[in-house]
Structure 1
Amino acid sequence: MKNRKVMFMSPLQVQTVEEEYVPGGLGDNEISVKLIYSLISPGTEQAMLAGTESWAQLPLCPGYASVSRVLEAGQGVKDFKPGDVVFHYGSHCEYQTVEVRDVVLKVPDGLNLKWVPFTRMATVAFTSLRVSNIELGDKVSVTGLGLVGNLAAQLARLQGATVIGVDLSKERLRTASQCGVNYTLEAGSGVKEKLMEITRGNGVSSHIEATGVPQVAVESLQYIGSEGEIILLGSPRGVFNTNVTDVLNYSHLANFGCITFKGAHEWRYPTEPDRFVKHSLVRNSLIVFDLMQRQQLQIEPLISHVIKPEQAADAYQGLRTDKDRYNGVLFDWSAEGEAR
């Protein structure tokens, strides 16, 4: 049996390879699965592909979010059986073994399988809401309307906020409007003035920074009103030289300042529900399933490409150089004519 997988061979070099797959013995808490769809995480995977992440040594098989069918279950596995369709944090590898103690969830009946991998992106976005003070009636801005930023904006709106999305890409702004984001502003000169007009001169009470670009985070401080907060959802990458005293003084003094900085990394919450901790990755993911089923969270507009893994090199090239057209890219691992 052939096992296809996407490999980052060296910086900016992507190959889809085939190797012989020989099923091995499963551990008590493991399942073997076959991918149906896997989703590229543009930010994390592009950083890995660039060779700039010390924790991701090339060559490697990347991956972030998957929906798969269970082939076999270990003796200690009680919640999954062969034939079940599951969401998991999988790699772009057609056949793989998954530890069920990680995030592995049975997919609800009737849920569009192309939407399922986006659960990971929405769960990442959820962290920005969990750490925030966003309440009904608040004004919230989001910089960066890629997958995570768009979903964070949608979730903030569901939490009762009026949401202002900011991005350089006209196509991402159009997609955000299609997903129900209240206002969309093209990044550049005049954004602050437009934002202040929307907020009647008060600024936003919460700002979610989803680009991961340090300069954007610093420049976003001017959008935030007194006693507001900036939430760092995108992992900061790259170099930006500035006078940190000016940043701190602005946060401390401007308009009586008191701007709070909050980190919103996905892993700040436990994986499994805990009686002493309200939020967890599993709980957030189950809520995302429910929001998708009730079509309160819009996923279809985020899907830009559904392609075969053999087209992986083109996909990563598009995500790097053609961000207007490439956004949500799914690998379809089905064989020709295979029913799902």
Structure 2
Amino acid sequence: MRATRLITKLRFPEPFTVEVEESVDGAALQVGERDVLVETHYSLISPGTELALYTGTHIDLPNPANRFAKFPFYPGYATVGEVLEAGAASGFARGDHVFTAAHHANYEVMEATEDLVVRMPEGLQPELALFGRIAEISMTSVLLSRVKPGDYVAVLGMGLVGNLAAQLFAQRGAIPIGIDVVPERLELAKRTGVEHVVLSGDGGAEDIRVDVRRITGGKDADIVVEASGVPELVITALELCRVLGQVILLGSTRGLVTLNVYDLIHRKGVSVTGAHASLKGVDGLPTSGELYREVLGMIQSGALRVEPFITHRLPSTEAKQAYELLLNHKDRACGVILNWRERGE
């Protein structure tokens, strides 16, 4: 008979509130034949989706059709850990080290589908593997683009999603240009191999365009990726894009956008493409599981540079502090990792 386990899981009962929900091992940890029970070692906080729910700014909170974005909300979708129990048809064994798309919790049972549980590549550092989840999201923009070698790709927002999108476009032979209002994020971009960066300020799209053209030799960007989720930057993206270029909306916008369709899209012939992460596996696109394996391999080989992202490591008991860091200190908080084997004071 296995030992009883105390399950701890993060929960947002309402905006700006983080609770640690505790329960004793019971039906929640029953392992079916296709399931695995995973003990979490580390989890990564998403500074996009999770902060939008933490602050109550997710655009779909009022939408009854969206059952994901609702309180109480259980955050988290990037963890690494060890398989403690494996169902006979799961394809895993006790002791396997895995990357999962699970919640922030010390234990979780999940069906061992390729989109939820992936065996870790041999030798890959667990903390680095966490960023495979963000890279899988960022990959949507590349897959849905018309990128060609030599294209200039301007990326608005150099957080985790935007930075990894820039790195992934570079892997396709494009020349990324990272754009952000936070100087420290641009320095981080350079450390991850994004050579060209632009600091945006109060001058809006016109000032950004001047700096972009200085990099491109006088041309507007072939592709502009909006990766911040800031509604106003959708307009900026359209203004920066060349005639017959492509704007890709990678960040989930946190509000509505009013824009001049005639001037910004119709007359310029600009293609606007939505790149939500849920589109994986649709109409021939790779599945999340296929992409996890690809990007984890890229992280292991160094093709994707993610170690500079790690700015904070905190015990899981200090999760509230972690969210506040990401919300209020964007100049120094980026990759915030929760350690589930360490308890704070």
Asked if 1:159 is matched to 2:166, the reply is: no
Asked if 1:174 is matched to 2:187, the reply is: yes
The amino acid across from 2:317 in the alignment is E
Identical-residue share of aligned pairs (%): 36
Unaligned runs of 5+ in 2: 62-67
**Which of 130, 140, 144 in structure 2 is aligned with 1:131?**
144
Q: Contact (CA 8 Å) 1:5, 1:309: kept in 2 or not?
A: no
Pairs within 5 Å for 1:43-62: 43-51=48-56, 52=58, 53-54=60-61, 55-62=68-75
Structure 1 residue 17 displacement after superposition: 4.1
**Which of 272, 294, 300 in structure 2 is aligned with 1:261?**
272
Q: Contact (CA 8 Å) 2:43, 2:79: kept in 1 or not?
A: yes
Structure 1 residue 235 displacement after superposition: 0.8
Structure 1 residue 18 displacement after superposition: 3.5
The amino acid across from 1:143 in the alignment is L
The amino acid across from 2:303 in the alignment is Q
Aligned-partner Cα distance in 2 for 1:25–1:192? 56
Q: SS of 2:213's equivalent?
A: helix
Aligned-partner Cα distance in 2 for 1:32–1:165? 40
Structure 1 residue 335 displacement after superposition: 4.3
Tell me the equivalent position of 1:313. Answer: 320
The amino acid across from 1:226 in the alignment is V
Aligned-partner Cα distance in 1 for 2:169–2:275? 14
Task: Single out whichever of 219-228 and 143-152 deviates more from structure 2.
Answer: 219-228
Q: Contact (CA 8 Å) 1:7, 1:15: kept in 2 or not?
A: yes
Asked if 1:37 is matched to 2:42, the reply is: yes
Q: Contact (CA 8 Å) 1:16, 1:309: kept in 2 or not?
A: no
Q: SS of 1:192's equivalent?
A: helix
The amino acid across from 1:139 in the alignment is Y
What does the per-residue CA deviation read over 1:298-322, in whole Å, with 9 as the maximum and x for residues that have no partner?
Answer: 0101111111011111111111111
Structure 1 residue 222 displacement after superposition: 1.9
TM score, norm. by length of structure 2: 0.90
What does the per-residue CA deviation read over 1:188-209, in whole Å, with 9 as the maximum and x for residues that have no partner?
Answer: 2221111122222220111110
**Which of 229, 232, 256 in structure 2 is aligned with 1:215?**
232
**Which of 199, 204, 207 in structure 2 is aligned with 1:186?**
199
Tell me the equivalent position of 2:108. Answer: 96
Task: Single out whichever of 159-168 and 195-204 deviates more from structure 2.
Answer: 195-204
Task: Single out whichever of 154-163 and 279-288 deviates more from structure 2.
Answer: 279-288
Structure 1 residue 21 displacement after superposition: 2.6
Task: Single out whichever of 15-24 and 230-239 deviates more from structure 2.
Answer: 15-24
Q: Contact (CA 8 Å) 1:218, 1:247: kept in 2 or not?
A: no
**Which of 64, 70, 74 in structure 1 is aligned with 2:87?**
74
Q: Contact (CA 8 Å) 1:36, 1:66: kept in 2 or not?
A: yes
Q: Contact (CA 8 Å) 2:30, 2:109: kept in 1 or not?
A: no
Q: Give the number of aligned pairs.
A: 325
TM score, norm. by length of structure 1: 0.91
Aligned-partner Cα distance in 1 for 2:276–2:69? 18
Q: Contact (CA 8 Å) 1:89, 1:103: kept in 2 or not?
A: yes
Tell me the equivalent position of 1:13. Answer: 17
Structure 1 residue 10 displacement after superposition: 1.6
